[in-house]
Amino acid sequence: MNYAANLMSIMPVLIVLATGMIVLLGDACSAQWRARRWYTWGFSLFGVLMALVQAGNQLQTQMATTFSETAFAGSIVTDSFTLTCYVILLITALLAILLAMTYLENRNLNLGEYYALVLFSTAGGMLMACSNDLIVLFVSVEILSVALYVLSGFARTEEKSEEAALKYFLLGAFASGFLLYGIALVYGGSATANHAGTTNLADLNLYLINDGRPSVLLMCGIALLFVGLAFKAALVPFHMWTPDVYEGAPTSVTAYMAAGAKIGAFAALMRVCSALAPIGEYWLPAVQTLAVLTMFGGNILAVVQDNVKRMLAYSSIAHAGYLLVAVSAASVRNEQAHNAAMGAMAFYLMAYAVMTMGAFGVLIYLSRKGRDLQTIEDLRGLARTDTFAAYAMLVFMLSLGGIPPTMGFMGKWFIFSATLQAGQVWLAIVMALASIISIYYYLKIVWMMCFQEPERPEVVEHAVASGGVRATIVLSLATMLVFGILPGALGILLNAAETTVFRP
């Protein structure tokens, strides 16, 4: 296909990239631009909205025509799953930008590069969702990660933030090494006597269906590939970086990381696992083991935490476990289960992104000038001092725990449904049991906020009570409740698997 069509297929990514570059250049070159922070903020928002509109349009047409297209000689695929992930990532970026402004002002970090980095990171995530080639996957993983390395160290003068950046960088680069080597081995291992090796996921899928037993080289490659991706998705036992990085980074960065990086990572995992589904019996038990370890590990470790951000970090690890259950359910031969699982994962990604942004948004709302909200003790008696924040946090905690009538419950329900359809009953039961553990620490926050009396019954002045933060919280709240009661309205998400490229 011709050049223009190639570009059109990744138009949302290009819009975001262009916005990012304009923001970066404008901030670097023009003093006037630097002086008025609202330019940067507004322009980034505008760019994201444009991309969202474009992605939405494409999604509409995609659903109508029901076939997918590949671009750039087969290395990019635009199907409904891609466009769905675009939408989710762009909404996450939107919320992240909304949250950022006043928070950064208060910590004296309001630099234009922040928005550029967020946009680049989003673009990386979007590329991950549309990649049909392992090398494109690698490049997009790196785009996402490198931007996040810088973002996590954004508070340059604070030691914790720098330490977070260093840890993230070293461990992230380590994992990228595994990822690249894994890709190289897959390139070699997918070769047989009849054909050369390939890194193209669609071709790989075809080869795996037709060739017999995979070679040892291929299996090693797949294993290393999973290690690399598992690190990015923060699965146990590759999760060690998550609590430290989430705790050290500025809260708005943590919010974006918790949501956006996971969406990208799981989009990539879903692509890879769908492609490798024909040899599922070799790697599915490993993925399931990872899922169980992650769910239990994340939840159990969260129970003992005192610092709110660390606790939310561990809880996000647990949610990665639930998402991995959906990935495992999608990797079976049963087509109906595959579609249901992909739809469930898309819905849960949306729910997870919105509720994470909301929960961190409340934390931002509550932080004071120059200081973040750190421990759970700081939340004591919040229902008396700041009712709006307390009850908003309540809804987010309920949604994270999976209690009706919130979107989190609906998401868990869809995942249960898909897992049972795929015949992996034991995994569903394990997920149910892990959820019980998670309720404890979500309720702990709730009781600390609502049942305890505050230490000093003073009215806390909010340094960060800006419209943007409030807007984020209210939007997230509304989404949680509305789509918890009427998830059918997001049916387009749930049919995300309509036109995927791979057939298991």
Partner 1 sequence: MPQSPIPNILSLLTFLPLVGAIVLLFLKRPQDLPEYHGGHAEHDAPHAPEKHPADPARTTVNLVAAFFAGMTFLLSLVLFGAFRSDYVESLTRNMQFLETANWIQVGNITIQYQMGVDGVSVLLIVLTTFLSLLCVLYSFHTRQRLKEFMVFLLLLETGMIGVFCALDLVLFYVFWEAMLIPMYFLIGIFGHERRIYAAVKFFLYTFAGSILMLVAIVWIYQVAGTFDVLSLSNPQTPEGKKLAEYGLRHPQAMLWLFAAFSLAFMIKVPMFPFHTWLPDAHVEAPTAGSVILAGVLLKMGTYGFVRFCLPMFPKQAEETAWIFITLAIIGIVYGSIVAAVQPDAKKLVAYSSVAHLGFVVLGIFSFTQVGLMGALIQNINHGISTPMLFFIVGMLYERRHTRMISEFGGLKLVVPMMSTMLLIAVLSSIAVPFFNGFVGEFPILVGSWISRKTYDIGGYGTTALAATGMILSAVYMLWWFQRLMLGPISRPENRHLPDLSRIEWTVLAPLAGLVFWIGLGSHFWTQRMDVAVEMILPQHMEAVNPDLPIQQVLDQQRIETLKRRGVVPMELGTESTRRVPPVQAPGASTPVVPPGPMGGSVPPSPPFPGVPPPAGAGQATPPAPGVPGGAEPDNGAPPAGPPSELPPGSFRGAPGSGAAPSGPDTPVSGPSSGNTAEENR
Partner 2 sequence: MITTEHYLVLSAILFTVGTIGVLVKRNPIVIFMCIELMLNAANLTLVALGRHFGQVNGQMYVIFALAVAAAEVSVGLGIIVAIFRTKETINIDEVNLMKF
Residues in the chain: 504
Under the binding rule (CB under 8 A), the answer on residue 166 touching partner 2 is yes
Q: Given the rule CB under 8 A, which of 11-19, 25-33, 240-248, 354-362 is the region that contacts partner 2? A: 240-248
205 or 479, CB closer to partner 2?
205
| Calpha distance 171→177 (Å, rounded) | 10
| Calpha distance 291→289 (Å, rounded) | 5
149 or 207, CB closer to partner 2?
149
Closest contact distance (angstroms) between CB of 318 and partner 1 is 15
188 or 405, CB closer to partner 2?
188
Contact yes or no for 270/137 (Cβ under 8 A) = no
CA distances to 64, 76, 101, 119 from 271, in Å: 22, 12, 34, 22
Q: Given the rule CB under 8 A, which of 43-51, 95-103, 185-193, 431-439 is the region that contacts partner 1? A: 431-439
Among 428, 469, 480, 501, binds partner 1 (CB under 8 A): 428
Under the binding rule (CB under 8 A), the answer on residue 142 touching partner 2 is yes
Number of residues counted as binding partner 1 (CB under 8 A): 36
Q: Which does 196 bind (CB under 5 to 8 A by kind): partner 2, partner 1, none?
A: partner 2
Among 95, 117, 164, 398, binds partner 1 (CB under 8 A): 398
Closest contact distance (angstroms) between CB of 119 and partner 2 is 16
Two structure tokens written together for 196: 């050369």
Under the binding rule (CB under 8 A), the answer on residue 191 touching partner 1 is no
Under the binding rule (CB under 8 A), the answer on residue 263 touching partner 2 is no
Under the binding rule (CB under 8 A), the answer on residue 494 touching partner 1 is yes
Among 9, 102, 199, 205, binds partner 2 (CB under 8 A): 199
How would DSSP label each residue in 423-492? T-HHHHHHHHHHHHHHHHHHHHHHHHHHTSPPSS-PPPP-TT--HHHHHHHHHHHHHHHHHHH-GGGGHH
Under the binding rule (CB under 8 A), the answer on residue 403 touching partner 1 is yes
Contact yes or no for 150/195 (Cβ under 8 A) = no
β-pairing, 76-78 with 69-71? Answer: antiparallel
72 or 296, CB closer to partner 1?
296
Q: Which amino acid is at 17?
A: L
How does 388-426 read in b/e, with b if 16+ C-beta sit within 10 Å?
Answer: ebbbbbbbbbbbbbbbeebbbbbbbbbbbbbbbbbebee
Q: Which amino acid is at 432?
A: A
Residues forming contacts to partner 2 in the complex (CB under 8 A) are: 135, 138-139, 142, 146, 149-150, 153, 156-157, 159-160, 162-167, 169-170, 173-174, 176-178, 180-181, 183-185, 187-188, 191, 196-199, 243-244, 247-248
